[in-house]
Chain A
Amino acid sequence: MLKYTLHRLLLALPTLLLVSIIVFGLIRLIPGDPAQLMLGDLGDPATLGRLREQWGLDRPVTVQYLIWLGKVVHGDLGISILQQRPVMEILVSSLGVTASLVLPAMLLASLLAIPAGMLAAWRQNSATDVAVVTLAIACLSIPSFWLGLVFLLVFGVWLDLLPVVGYVSLAESPVEGALYLLLPVCALALIEVGVIIRMARASTIEVLRLEYVTHARAKGLDEATVARRHVLKNTMAPTWTMIGLTLGSLLGGAVVIETVFTLPGLGRLMVDSIFARDYPVIQGCMLLVTAIYVVVNLLVELCYPLLDPRVRPQ
């Protein structure tokens, strides 16, 4: 198992390396080098030259990349142009907000969608099935930011039940913080519900068709036992992978949801930084979000053998 873990980790390294090259290259496509961007139009040529020398900008691009990568590996993502603080510091404070949004959404979506998908598959072609499938399609078709706006309009403005704009950290006040997070989490979760329902339903139908389910029934097991012992685990394997992949759209969705609900998370930070042309922060956001996505999917993959003994290394 340890060797398998090492194997997967080593395989993820080239991907992460390429990701860093893409992020580095993308920002370099912007006219003007980091020193110019940092000083803006105000910098005099002498300061500019000093800064360039200090950052190694007079050396070849590959060397610049390696210097940058070395710093990144040590947790140094540069200095924010706007806030004049280390980018890492800014990212860490925003990460908590995004995590408290995305993780509950992921959990909520899975808890709602997996049982619903399995139930629909079990009663394939019945009214229940049609209802669940329709619900899934509806969820897939509503953009999260619009749903967020509608939530705000209904619960915040018309019914005046929940706070509309603003944010209180969970650490400061768990109850109030949770109230601020309730609507965004629901809006975000509902989108993924559609994806996970469809996946859970499809893989359950696939499993139900297999002979070992008939075999289990031929043993005289009741439907609940068949579901629990013979179907759930085999259905979970592909669905589990899917949940890891939905994190990507959840992180993307968080960017928009954080803007709708004005939450100070990573996504909003990225958007604000784009408007402020704060390139070190944009770079940091992209790297961090992608690294999280890659690492979470790696963890998902490492857990996969627990669900499917067939891929366990002997």
Chain B
Amino acid sequence: MTIEKPPAASMRGDDPVLGIEGLQVDVRTPERGWRRVVRDFDLELQAGEITALVGESGSGKTMIGRAILGLLPPVAEVRGGDIRFGDTALVGAGEAQLRRLRGREIGMVFQEPMVSLNPALRVGAQMTEALRLHHGVSAGQARSQCLAMLERVRISDPVACFNAWPHQFSGGMRQRIMLASVLVMRPRLLIADEPTTALDAIVQKEVMDIMVSLSRDTSTAILLVSHDLSMVAHYADNVIVLRKGETIESGRCTDILLSPQHEYTRTLLGALPSRTTTAAPPSADARPLVEVQSLRVEFTRKAVLFWRKPTIVRAVEDADFSIREHETLAVVGESGSGKTTIGRALMRLTETQAGTIRFDAEEITGLDGAALKRHRSRAQMVFQDPYSSLDPRMNLGDIVAEGLRNLPGLSKVERKQRACEMLAEVGLPGDYADRHPHELSGGQRQRVCIARAIVSRPRFVVADEPVSALDVTIQKQVLDLLETLQTRFGFTCLFISHDLGVVEQIADRVLVMYRGRILESGSRDDIYDRPLHPYTRRLLQATPRIMRTESGGYRLHEHEALPREAPPGYRHYNHGSIPGVPLTPEPPLMIENSPGHLVACVPT
């Protein structure tokens, strides 16, 4: 499939909006003095074009965006090179001169929508600020311009939004407000620093679509800073690949990302998760290890006023599923879908309110004391955040050995011995056992977490977003390790993730969750190739992926499965805001559409 993009608004050879030549940025570190984080960086950006800076963490991409505006953090400094915005040289420009450009000519959208709006000022006050400063319009004019812009970023009630406080909005809404307040100035250049990284896939697509279409209208050039290659391939015209501050490759997006020349770019693309065709499909008659029936998990949130009743939030409602021995079942969904709660319920880290969980035919919801201890020696967990899941005061050997503490008949020496063997197994041999977590990188920490989980040879492992905090190349290594270990030790795995790409690589079967309900379940191929529920389709459409072609190149795969009817006699279940599907308040039934492929429906 080819990518369709409107031609860039201006022809090459015109005066560029932004030109950067030989930019050098240094950062002062307390231990080693000045360290170069951006080296000899060149860039030319024409009006209406989208150029992306891609790279893993530490590539210096964020520093470049900030250097343009003269808003580097206090520890960083531009040490050489030129930044020209139109006719103005930005390096060495005075504060007053920069201030005239900031906001008016160059806008910036930040990564974290939760902290980029001032919590103490109403949305309207923050939006009109720049308009009134730079264009000197009256309060009334500013207000009407902002309201118009809020409408264009598809905020349903612009007046209410204008008068509201930032904390009353979700992350996606705040990012739209940010976009509106930046684009209302009609800047010539928009710097978007990971603008959608903190958002769920569907919201991410909406925000990106709005951003791109609005800036095409105003022929605003966009400098898109991102780590997400697929997203960049989908939206950008040009791309610059960075690594440790150095430019690896630059050029048209289609050239670079779909037929990479440089080895590093190839490694990056090669590390993107992909469906492994070799995986044998799980035999349908394998014995289920975990069986969950009508599971309900509720959380009580205390009311602000103590005499009010606490509100009850149903995190998981009426979940039915089973996990067969030796298979990997993935749970996908956006934040708040209840996927993590399911994993925690299986580990008995969360109390359940109704339903049964049977592990190896034994009911575990009521276990306590020694029985619970035994369950936890058979079932283990790998956590999401590699920075908070290891006790900073213990060495790796002790951390892993703790997983064996509650196995009977092991001496301290034997435990340590087995811990060291397991560390070697996950690729941390020798003296790693004596090191402490702070000496490790994120990927290495996650290896330790895996070692701790499987050192007791559990039959079942819950992996809760184990790779989502990692860079793409590290992510691949950890996923590969997990697969190798699963083959070797034969554990059953519940894999929780929001990332459809990762799930496609590792899962045998998939559960799709939305707001506490399972909407669809089936084999990986059922879900990815023949999705039934409209939500599953939306999720797949919102996740463009770069796929390897048979010829060794790459193509951008955008999901285009046709909408499919619910099984005869039923309609698709919808309890939330899934567009295009009528709301169905009655409880759903899981209807089997084809063997093993179930979808949430209600009878017509």
A and B in contact, CB less than 8 Å? yes
Residues of chain A in range 208-241 having any CB-CB distance to chain B below 8 Å: 210-212, 214-222, 229-230, 233-234, 237
In the complex, what's the smallest C-beta–C-beta distance from B114 to chain A, in angstroms? 9
Chain A interface: which size bin? 20 to 34
In the complex, what's the smallest C-beta–C-beta distance from B489 to chain A, in angstroms? 44
Are the C-beta atoms of B118 and A310 separated by less than 8 Å? no
A3, A212, A216 — which one has the most chain B CB atoms within 10 A of its CB?
Answer: A212
- Select from chain B the residue with minimum beta-carbon distance to A311: B304
Given contact pairs A212-B116, A212-B117, A217 touches B129 in the complex (Cβ within 8 A): no
Residues of chain B in range 139-185 having any CB-CB distance to chain A below 8 Å: 165, 167-168, 178
- Select from chain A the residue with minimum beta-carbon distance to B69: A218
Which secondary structure characterizes the binding site on chain B?
loop
B110, B112, B119, B168 — which one has the most chain A CB atoms within 10 A of its CB?
Answer: B119
A260 to B112, CA, bound (A): 54
- Select from chain B the residue with minimum beta-carbon distance to A209: B73
In the complex, what's the smallest C-beta–C-beta distance from B161 to chain A, in angstroms? 15
Residues of chain B in range 87-101 having any CB-CB distance to chain A below 8 Å: 99-101
The proximity string for B residues 287-309 relative to A, scoring 1 for CB distances below 8 Å and 0 otherwise, is 00000000000000000111100
Are the C-beta atoms of A217 and B71 separated by less than 8 Å? yes
- Select from chain A the residue with minimum beta-carbon distance to B96: A222
Q: Does B436 contact A (CB under 8 A)?
A: no
Residues of chain A in range 225-273 having any CB-CB distance to chain B below 8 Å: 229-230, 233-234, 237
Are the C-beta atoms of A307 and B120 separated by less than 8 Å? yes
Residues of chain A in range 61-100 having any CB-CB distance to chain B below 8 Å: none
A217 to B100, CA, bound (A): 11
In the complex, which residues of chain B have a beta carbon less than 8 angstroms from the beta carbon of A212? Answer: 115-119
Are the C-beta atoms of B118 and A234 separated by less than 8 Å? yes
The proximity string for A residues 52-63 relative to B, scoring 1 for CB distances below 8 Å and 0 otherwise, is 000000000000
Are the C-beta atoms of B112 and A310 separated by less than 8 Å? no
The proximity string for B residues 98-114 relative to A, scoring 1 for CB distances below 8 Å and 0 otherwise, is 01111110111011100
Q: Does B121 contact A (CB under 8 A)?
A: yes
In the complex, what's the smallest C-beta–C-beta distance from A128 to chain B, in angstroms? 15
Partner of B165, one of A216, A230, A309, A313: A309
Are the C-beta atoms of A221 and B99 separated by less than 8 Å? yes
Q: Does A10 contact B (CB under 8 A)?
A: yes
B contacts with A, residue count (CB < 8 A): 34
In the complex, which residues of chain B have a beta carbon less than 8 angstroms from the beta carbon of A134? Answer: none
In the complex, which residues of chain B have a beta carbon less than 8 angstroms from the beta carbon of A218? Answer: 69, 71, 102-103, 106-108
A222 to B99, CA, bound (A): 7
The proximity string for A residues 184-222 relative to B, scoring 1 for CB distances below 8 Å and 0 otherwise, is 000000000000000000000000001110111111111
Partner of A234, one of B119, B134, B168: B119
Partner of A230, one of B102, B118, B134, B304: B118
Given contact pairs A210-B115, A229-B129, A220 touches B101 in the complex (Cβ within 8 A): yes
Q: Does A15 contact B (CB under 8 A)?
A: no
Q: Does B130 contact A (CB under 8 A)?
A: yes
Q: Does A308 contact B (CB under 8 A)?
A: yes
Q: Does B410 contact A (CB under 8 A)?
A: no
In the complex, what's the smallest C-beta–C-beta distance from B301 to chain A, in angstroms? 14
- Select from chain B the residue with minimum beta-carbon distance to A222: B99
Are the C-beta atoms of A220 and B100 separated by less than 8 Å? yes
In the complex, which residues of chain A have a beta carbon less than 8 angstroms from the beta carbon of B583? Answer: none
A102 to B337, CA, bound (A): 54
In the complex, which residues of chain A have a beta carbon less than 8 angstroms from the beta carbon of B165? Answer: 309-310, 312
A304 to B106, CA, bound (A): 36
Partner of A229, one of B100, B101, B111, B121: B121
In the complex, which residues of chain B have a beta carbon less than 8 angstroms from the beta carbon of A237? Answer: 120
> What 15 new A-B contacts, CB under 8 Å, besides A212-B119, A216-B129?
A4-B304, A4-B305, A7-B304, A7-B307, A11-B306, A124-B74, A211-B111, A211-B115, A212-B118, A215-B108, A215-B116, A221-B129, A229-B118, A229-B121, A310-B167
Q: What are 20 residue pairs bridging A and B, where the CB atoms are less than 8 Å apart in the complex?
A: A3-B305, A210-B115, A211-B116, A212-B117, A212-B118, A215-B110, A215-B117, A218-B107, A219-B130, A220-B101, A220-B102, A220-B133, A221-B129, A221-B130, A234-B119, A237-B120, A309-B119, A309-B167, A310-B167, A313-B305
